[in-house]
């Protein structure tokens, strides 16, 4: 494992998990200060990470489980934690999509401005293995302290990408053969009977208001979540979980 000169005293933060760390090494290696890797990992993902780190001259420090657990307490770090520049540039959607080795699974939030809802959506996205959460800049909440607390670490593992023009971003996703699916109470097809391709981006609006008209019209498909009780709708984070887990289930078939 390579050694590098001591880093300068810049503010840093920690990220963890192979997908997050390797994506950072590929697209923004200058932001990575050092990597802590489980010394028992000898598999292909560990070797891939080592290859990228050594090519960039980034120090990789062997660590045991206790040290990694201490760096990322309560998190599924997979045996890798990286120290990165806290002032690094934001990850772009292209950064995410260009590193994927499986069909994309994205969550798009149109009009979700409540920090508790966003934090919960990030947590759901992390749990289901979604590759990014996307929101328009003019109708979204930033990564506030409340969001970070509710997300329980998911804000560090799931890229949260804000875009200037959501409709244009949806069209760009279509150009990458990603199917845009919106959720709407009035949709003809329901979540469990509808068919869709493997690569998907799921669009959900704020509870009550739903998606904006232009967003809805840009979707390739609309589906509804079947409701069997007396309530008329679900919280956006719950609805996100229902949709993303159904999409993940089909990806694993």
Residues of each annotated binding site for S-adenosyl-L-methionine: 205, 225, 234
Helix axes of 18-27 and 44-55: crossing angle, nearest 10 degrees: 30
Residue 223: in which H helix or E strand, if any?
strand 221-224
CA–CA gap between residue 226 and residue 42 (Å, rounded):
45
Q: What is the DSSP letter of 174?
A: H
Q: 32 has which bridge partners? A: 84
Instruction: Tell me the two tokens of residue 129.
Output: 């293995």
CA angle 238, 167, 237 (to 5 degrees): 10
The residue assigned the tokens 């694993």 is 252
Q: Is 75 helix (H, G, I), strand (E, B) or coil?
A: coil
Name residues whose C-beta falls within 8 Å of residue 146's C-beta, 6 or more positions apart in sequence: 115, 116, 119
Binding residues: 205, 225, 234
Q: Count other C-beta atoms under 10 Å from residue 248's C-beta.
A: 14
């Amino acid at each position: 494992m390579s050694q590098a000169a001591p880093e300068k005293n810049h503010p840093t933060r920690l990220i963890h998990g192979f997908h997050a760390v390797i994506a950072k090494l590929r697209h923004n290696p200058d932001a990575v200060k050092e990597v802590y890797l489980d010394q028992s990992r000898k598999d292909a993902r560990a070797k891939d990470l080592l290859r990228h780190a050594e090519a960039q001259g980034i120090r990789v420090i062997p660590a045991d489980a206790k040290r990694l657990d201490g760096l990322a307490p309560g998190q599924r770090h997979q045996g890798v934690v990286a120290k990165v520049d806290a002032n690094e540039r934001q990850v772009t959607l292209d950064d995410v999509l260009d590193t994927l080795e499986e069909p994309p699974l994205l969550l798009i939030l149109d009009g979700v401005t409540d920090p508790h809802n966003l934090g919960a959506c990030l947590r759901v996205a992390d749990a289901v293995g979604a590759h990014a959460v996307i929101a328009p800049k003019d109708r979204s909440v930033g990564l506030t302290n409340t969001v970070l607390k509710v997300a329980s670490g998911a804000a560090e593992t799931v890229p949260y990408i804000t875009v200037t023009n959501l409709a244009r971003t949806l069209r760009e996703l279509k150009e990458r053969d990603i199917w845009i699916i919106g959720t709407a109470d009035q949709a003809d097809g329901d979540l469990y009977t509808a068919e869709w391709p493997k690569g998907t981006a799921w669009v959900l609006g704020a509870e009550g208001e739903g998606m904006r008209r232009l967003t809805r019209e840009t979707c390739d498909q609309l589906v509804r979540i079947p409701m069997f009780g007396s309530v008329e709708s679900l919280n956006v984070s719950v609805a996100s979980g229902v949709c993303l887990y159904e999409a993940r289930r089909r990806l694993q078939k």
